[in-house]
Amino acid sequence: MGKTIAQKIIAAHLLSGDMTPGSEVALRIDQTLTQDATGTMAYLALEGMNIPRVKTELSIAYVDHNTLQCGFENADDHQYLQTVAAKYGVRFSRPGNGICHQVHLERFGKPGKTLIGSDSHTPTAGGLGMLAFGAGGMDVAAAMGGGAYYITMPRMFRVNLTGALRPGVTAKDISLEILRILSVKGGVGAIIEWGGPGVAALSVPERATITNMGAELGATTSVFPADDVTKAFLAAQGREGDYTPIFADADAVYDRVIDIDLSALTPRIACPHSPDNVKTVAELNVIKVDQVCIGSCTNSSLADLLKVAAILKGKRIAPHVSLSISPGSRQVLSMLAKCGALEDILASGARLLECACGPCIGMGFSPNSGGVSLRTFNRNFLGRSGTRDGQVYLVSPETAAASALRGYITDPMTLDAQPAITMPEQFAIDDSGVLMPLDEEAAKSAQVLRGPNIKEFPVGKTMEDSIAGQVVLKVGDNITTDHIMPAGAKILPYRSNIPFLSKFCFEVCDPAFPERAKATENGIILGGENYGQGSSREHAALVPMYLGVRCVIAKSFARIHVANLINAGILPLTLENAADYDALEQGCALTLENIHKGMEEGILTATAGGKKITLRCDLTKRQRDILLAGGLLKYIGEGGL
Ligand code: MIC
Ligand code: SF4
């Protein structure tokens, strides 16, 4: 039987396990990336592992999230990251050099290789034919230390693209269309492979826009073939030598095949507050827009911004609109400047922001009260923009630029002229924003600088055989890690300070949660479907653990979050009977007994007010051992790497 692209890469990196969907496989990881908001915890974990130097082919620490330095905190974190990276053999991408996924695509990603990153959009590199996964910081640390990365072998989905995009319709519209079809949990447990005759016309950055938003589907990862388009992109980056072709076999078998006819697609828009709340742009064209943001790891490539510049050229944005542009990398920015496109952007009235995540993670540029904000980003979760009542819509750069000019949501297909751009044959290469680590000798005596913002890594409790707990919070479906541990300019600087962060846990759902959880011995959280979707931030597990949460019971979990819960020593359990969700109320006492046996048998009984509730705990032997040890760090300390 033929193999899919993902099965080929997994087979080539398989350390243990069998590749039947649902069973655990251990993968050898070639490359790792971290970003600053999750990186500090990852490197604190690496330091705790007592490994002198990383063992991967390439590891890199990016600084792109926390670049607003409103106090000493971010600067402390950057200094810590730079010095720890230098000592442990990790490259360091300086603040301002660009968004991790965009820079990685341009300068480091390689077809056929594996990559894990402490950021949920790491699958962006799938646009190059790389098998790339978002992971918690502890898992990335373990991979840097030479350990395997464990995933549940996913099912294989194939999206078949036929036809060709019409002018004004973009890769972002393909991403939104698949979200409309599958929803934010439609990709859970699956790898999404993109193929079909429509693929050849998509550039690598366009493919990367699509693999990037596979994260919003809950997919394990997404991947494109590596073909002549990939080869040409790598050659234009001066990296032709990094090219290896990868295709699915003609007789590869997929669990699900979805067809999208590109010629029939029209511009799409995701409405507040979920990326799968998708409509056509045309049907919303009466909505007035206050703010437009163009950038993020989804849509900040040179081609994206050249198209934006071509739409804006010679025109002014509507007076009531505020437009921001954040180029994805210094390479993009300097090339825009050299060819004059930056001038066209600025002359339109746009505001230029740093090459960083910026507004995407609420680091500045929050909308006005109740404001309508059109963003080329990937997430529009409630409150993520920094304004609780902001109405955030997700669109393509073309829709964003056309709307900024008219001041109303505008379908770019209605523009008088479609932007025609010419891509340069060669990208401008300047890797001076990436610092090389120290050599092994110099590293031995190098000091790691730790400002007062760097606090200790919290340690979990070993899992007892019985827990007498209480439901400290009951929440609904699709709770995101932004609900659990919000980001934004006020809190993000404290990502290496768990005690401080804990004051904001679940702030959007229930501001009284932190105090209540702290006062309760053995807190239990009750969630609905797809609990923990979104960001890979392990803070969404470490902080509840710090507040005394021992167990999360949900109808179902998102992949990265459930791994983070286990790594933090929190027991994840799913309701055997979804109806029991209604029987459990916030504040009720809940006792778990014979936990150890239950963990082995995969089924456990809880008692709440005399009622018995059956809970599933699908854990591998390794995961059980991690929980018994009290989390991944303790498990590794006991020789578990
Ligand atoms: C995000 O887009 O939510 C983030 C911020 O990049 C996160 C990582 C984090 O919370 O630091 C992610 O996607 O994993
Ligand atoms: Fe940064 Fe936004 Fe991408 Fe997350 S989704 S990595 S915050 S640009």
The per-residue pLDDT for range 235-263, each reduced to its tens digit, is 999 999 999 999 999 999 999 999 999 99
Range 212-222 average pLDDT: 98
Range 462-472 average pLDDT: 97
Task: Compute the distance from residue 357 Cα to the ligand 2 centre, in Å.
Answer: 5
Whole-angstrom Cα distance, residue 253 to residue 245? 20
Indicate which residue's Cα is closest to atom 4 of ligand 1.
Answer: 535
Whole-angstrom Cα distance, residue 104 to residue 121? 12
Peptide bond into 121 cis (omega under 30): no
Is 296's C-beta closer than 6 angstroms to any atom of ligand 2? Answer: yes
Residue 551 CB-density burial (10 A; 0-12 exposed, 13-18 middle, 19+ buried): buried
Task: Compute the distance from residue 96 Cα to the ligand 1 centre, in Å.
Answer: 18
pTM of this structure: 0.97
Task: Compute the distance from residue 379 Cα to the ligand 2 centre, in Å.
Answer: 9
pLDDT per residue as tens digits for the range 18-53 = 999 999 999 999 999 999 999 999 999 999 998 999
For residue 638, the model assigns a pLDDT of: 85
For residue 56, the model assigns a pLDDT of: 98
For residue 428, the model assigns a pLDDT of: 98
Range 346-356 average pLDDT: 98
Q: Decide: 486 and 109 in contact? Cβ < 8 Å.
A: no
Share of the chain above pLDDT 70, in %: 100
Phi, psi (deg, nearest 5) at residue 21: -50, 135
Task: Compute the distance from residue 267 Cα to the ligand 2 centre, in Å.
Answer: 22
Question: Considering only CA atoms, which of 538, 540, 572, 568 is closest in space to residue 633?
Answer: 568
Q: Which atom of ligand 2 is nearest to the CA of 119?
A: 6
Six-digit token string for 463: 């899992």
Range 465-481 average pLDDT: 97
Q: Decide: 243 and 129 in contact? Cβ < 8 Å.
A: no
Task: Compute the distance from residue 43 Cα to the ligand 2 centre, in Å.
Answer: 20
Is 121's C-beta closer than 6 angstroms to any atom of ligand 2? Answer: yes
Range 351-369 average pLDDT: 97
Range 569-592 average pLDDT: 96
pLDDT per residue as tens digits for the range 485-533 = 999 888 999 999 999 999 999 998 999 999 999 999 999 999 999 999 9
Range 547-562 average pLDDT: 97
Q: Which atom of ligand 1 is nearest to the CA of 65?
A: 5
Whole-angstrom Cα distance, residue 449 to residue 43? 12
Six-digit token string for 207: 């493919």
Six-digit token string for 585: 């109320």
Instruction: Using the predicted structure, report yes or no on whether residue 640 has a pLDDT greater than 80.
Output: no
For residue 463, the model assigns a pLDDT of: 97
Q: Which atom of ligand 2 is nearest to the CA of 100?
A: 6
Q: What is the mean pLDDT of the chain?
A: 97
Task: Compute the distance from residue 280 Cα to the ligand 2 centre, in Å.
Answer: 24
Q: Decide: 371 and 349 in contact? Cβ < 8 Å.
A: no
Q: Decide: 433 and 97 in contact? Cβ < 8 Å.
A: yes
pLDDT band at 1 (very low <50, low <70, confident <90, very high): confident
Whole-angstrom Cα distance, residue 465 to residue 216? 36
Whole-angstrom Cα distance, residue 514 to residue 493? 19
Q: What is the DSSP string of 240-274?
A: GGG---B---TTB--SEEEEEEGGG---EEEPTT-
Is 360's C-beta closer than 6 angstroms to any atom of ligand 2? Answer: yes
Question: Considering only CA atoms, which of 247, 204, 206 is closest in space to residue 225?
Answer: 247
Indicate which residue's Cα is closest to atom 3 of ligand 2.
Answer: 297
Whole-angstrom Cα distance, residue 197 to residue 191? 20
End-to-end CA gap in the chain = 34
Which residue of 536, 543, 559, 561 sits with most ligand 1 atoms within 8 Å of its CB, as the best mutation to test the pocket? 536
Is 332's C-beta closer than 6 angstroms to any atom of ligand 2? Answer: no
Indicate which residue's Cα is closest to atom 2 of ligand 1.
Answer: 535
Q: Decide: 153 and 23 in contact? Cβ < 8 Å.
A: yes
Residue 489 CB-density burial (10 A; 0-12 exposed, 13-18 middle, 19+ buried): middle
Task: Compute the distance from residue 252 Cα to the ligand 1 centre, in Å.
Answer: 33
pLDDT band at 641 (very low <50, low <70, confident <90, very high): confident
Q: Decide: 221 and 114 in contact? Cβ < 8 Å.
A: no
Q: Which atom of ligand 1 is nearest to the CA of 38?
A: 11
Q: Which ligand is nearest to the CA of 41?
A: 1
Task: Compute the distance from residue 270 Cα to the ligand 2 centre, in Å.
Answer: 17
pLDDT band at 388 (very low <50, low <70, confident <90, very high): confident
Residue 401 CB-density burial (10 A; 0-12 exposed, 13-18 middle, 19+ buried): buried
For residue 110, the model assigns a pLDDT of: 98
Instruction: Using the predicted structure, report yes or no on whether residue 351 has a pLDDT greater than 80.
Output: yes
Helix (H) or strand (E) holding 400: helix 397-406
Is 356's C-beta closer than 6 angstroms to any atom of ligand 2? Answer: no
Task: Compute the distance from residue 123 Cα to the ligand 1 centre, in Å.
Answer: 13
Instruction: Using the predicted structure, report yes or no on whether residue 215 has a pLDDT greater than 80.
Output: yes
pLDDT per residue as tens digits for the range 259-309 = 999 999 999 999 999 999 999 999 999 999 999 999 999 999 999 999 999
